[in-house]
Amino acid sequence: MRRTPRDTEATSRSVTRRALVMGGGMAAMVAALGARMRFLGVEQADEFRLLAEENRINIRLIPPARGLIQDRNGKLIAGNEQNYRVVITRENAGKTDEDVQQVLNRLSHIIPMTAEDLSDALKALKRNSAFVPITVADRVSWDDFSKIAVNAPALPGVTPEVGLSRVYPRDSDFAHIVGYVGPVSEKDLAGLENPDPLLRIPKFQIGKIGVEKWMEDTLRGSAGTKRIEVNAVGRVMRELDREEGVKGKDLRLTIDADVQNFVQARLGDESAACVVIEVNTGDIIAAVSSPSFDPNLFVRGISQTDYSTLTEHDHRPLANKVVQGAYPPGSTFKMVTALAALEAGAVDVNTSVRCPGYLEVGGRKFHCWKRGGHGKVDLQRSLAESCDVYFYDTAMKVGIDKIAEMGRKLGLGQRHDLPMSAITEGSMPDKAWKREKHKAEWVIGDTINASIGQGFVLTSPLQLAVMTARIASGKMVAPRIIHSINDQPVDIAPAESLGLEGSKLRAVQMGMFEVMNGANGTAKSSRIVDETMRMCGKTGTAQVRNISTAERDTGVVSNDRLPWKQRDHALFVGFAPADNPRYAVSVVVEHGGGGSTVAAPIARDALLRALTGTLPPLTAYPADQRGRMETLLNALQLRLPDGSQPAPSKV
């Protein structure tokens, strides 16, 4: 069929349009390729020239800034400081081990490095991947840092860096609470199922004990990344880009740094512990274990000499006695026995017992601390004068199971949940406990010993403080040490009632009041005379050795004539103000002797410091003690941070 001229013309126009579209598309592609070639060949010429010289692009993690730790008022406890360090990357240091060794040898001639440092660096380089930077020198001076930068061409793979390192500005005050950080160990990694890549960075520091350890995930933050360009000899040419990590969260503790520091100074060189706690919230205001140590030593790398000094000291400065120490509570336990008997109806507030100086059971004499006895005593007087025989008799009436039940209700025999290391449960024994623990039956002598906080009963200073706070408030107060995270308060549920009858609880509180303020109270000399701050308390003396019958007949050897480790532990618990309790306190002085003479004065001063917000006023002390206390407080002031208030003048 012949095509008409019109059909031919239409076909021609269609072909022309297609040709134009295709030509336009091809032209656009050519233009795009030309523009890209110009970009690569002209604008990126320098970058590709470097790549042509065998440069490499490395991606490295950026450790985040660790979260700060502050006290309840925002004072810094654990912070970060700028730190100059030197790292080496094996894949950039040379092709063989000999090359790496030569680089390290050259480095050791520029900055101080011991043979041990060199050996540790080589081991770390072999243990980790070739692309992982290894820290070979930490906390180098600015001069050494500059020398490395100047000599960079002769040190392939070596890079001077500026980072952050942990610092504890208040030295020993918070060592047992906050703890310290240290390099990640194989043991640390073994305990983690999917460890954070940050932990693979050699010498990356994580919390080892205390809050630093137990709040590690909160404090650490998350890593950032950076892309860097290194040349053929491993020298960093430039940083191409970076993505900053997320800083760790800041913590604010319930601890008051000034009260903590005062108590630390007040304990002096004693092997002791003291806890101050708010009776209604459970907030721990101070938790001091003495003697302490400087956690900065561990961060910077403690010497063997310093470490041996700490581990060989007979006062055990590395142990946190506040939560790790387990001590017989002695007579501070008598409130537990009293409340158990009152609640069970075994005695009432008027029940009296005659104390001749001992109680004979089954042909065995259980002695009172007062050799001649106390005569006829009731609950209030037995607490005030700490008559042992009253509590022997009362314990036999109520039985150990009821006593143990009350002890647990008051917080004894429990592991309180705090971010601190090696918290002890102590021991709150009953019949089932002895069968399970010692494969033996409970006997009446066990009950008598337990009634005055001896025998199998063991408690920590923290548990004693919780017990006292619960007696003071009548509530199931739980201790806490984390106040807020990133300024967001940690919610706490209101403490529930202990469920104890008010009149019975008040009877025990009144007995504790008489301990401090009664005519024959065992801690009368440590009373507070300011009526707005008068305190209630209970002394305790825990034996650490057996006293033979022969020694009792000739007279018990006084503590000051015994070797230190054979002396009794001195204990005290108390709260104030008596009519509206705010703070409770516990003090344990290892081998300190008598609770009334050693532990009670410390507890009084700690309570006064917490109540007044300043150094204790001399007007709070009995008039005949003010001269001595003025001297003591002025001496303590020299050990306190700048800005502490001076002791008021003598009146």
Query: Which residues are marked as active site?
Result: 331
Contact by Cβ (8 Å): 597, 227: no
Contact by Cβ (8 Å): 100, 94: yes
Q: CA 363, 447, 335, 358: dihedral to nearest 10 degrees?
A: 10
- Distance, in Å, from the CA atom of 270 to the CA atom of 317, rounded to the nearest integer, reads 10
* Per-residue tokens: 490: 């940690």
Contact by Cβ (8 Å): 327, 569: yes
Question: What is the identity of the amino acid at 428?
Answer: M
- Distance, in Å, from the CA atom of 619 to the CA atom of 530, rounded to the nearest integer, reads 7
First to last CA, the chain: 134
- Distance, in Å, from the CA atom of 128 to the CA atom of 34, rounded to the nearest integer, reads 46
DSSP string, 45-92: HHHHHHHHTT-EEEEEEEPPPPPPEE-TTS-EEEEEEEEEEEEEEHHH
Question: What is the identity of the amino acid at 371?
Answer: R
Computed on alpha carbons and rounded to an integer, the radius of gyration of the chain in Å comes to: 36
Cα 98 to chain centroid distance, Å, stands at 45
- Name the percent of the chain in helix, strand, coil, to the closest 5: 45, 20, 35
Going by C-beta distance under 8 Å and a sequence separation of 6 or more, which residues neighbour residue 304? none
Burial of residue 229, with CB atoms counted within 10 A of its CB: 0-12 exposed, 13-18 middle, 19 or more buried: middle
For residue 234, give the DSSP letter.
S
How many alpha carbons fall within 13 Å on the CB side of residue 54? 5
How many alpha carbons fall within 13 Å on the CB side of residue 328? 21
- Distance, in Å, from the CA atom of 538 to the CA atom of 611, rounded to the nearest integer, reads 19
| Separation in Å, CA 85 to CA 144, 206, 615 | 10, 17, 43
Judge if the upstream peptide bond of residue 291 is cis by omega within 30 degrees of 0. Answer: yes
How many alpha carbons fall within 13 Å on the CB side of residue 530? 15
Residue 526: φ, ψ to 5°: -105, 20
